[in-house]
Amino acid sequence: MRTLIILMLLAVLVMAATSYESHESMESHEYLNPFINRQRANGFIHADTRLEAISQERIRERNKAPQERQREICEDYYPCELYAFRHGYAAAYRHYFGRRRTK
């Protein structure tokens, strides 16, 4: 009986120690209201700069340098890519696509 009372008191003490709510967790403003409105949440991102950056990226994709276009063409054709590993992309492009053959 005595051990049962001691175990019961020990269990109550452990439960009280683990369920204690510290003041540090209550200092946060998120404790009372974890949600904020859209304007405050997205206040640091300006829509104009995002849209402008996306449009600039699209313009850069359309206006590629000729060497970059040639390299992409060469990368898509496996023999040209192997040749490029040894001789460079400019030489590989000239070798495989430089002379256009017409019949």
pLDDT value, residue 63: 77
Q: Are 93 and 74 in contact (CB under 8 A)?
A: yes
pTM for this one? Answer: 0.40
Q: Six-digit token pair at 4?
A: 């049962």
pLDDT value, residue 19: 76
- DSSP-derived secondary structure for 9-74: HHHHHHHHHHS---HHHHHSGGGT-----HHHHTTTS-HHHHHHHHHHHHHHHHS--HHHHHHHHH
Q: Which residue has the higher pLDDT, 95 or 63?
A: 95
State mean pLDDT over 67-89. 91
Domain ranges of the chain: 66-102
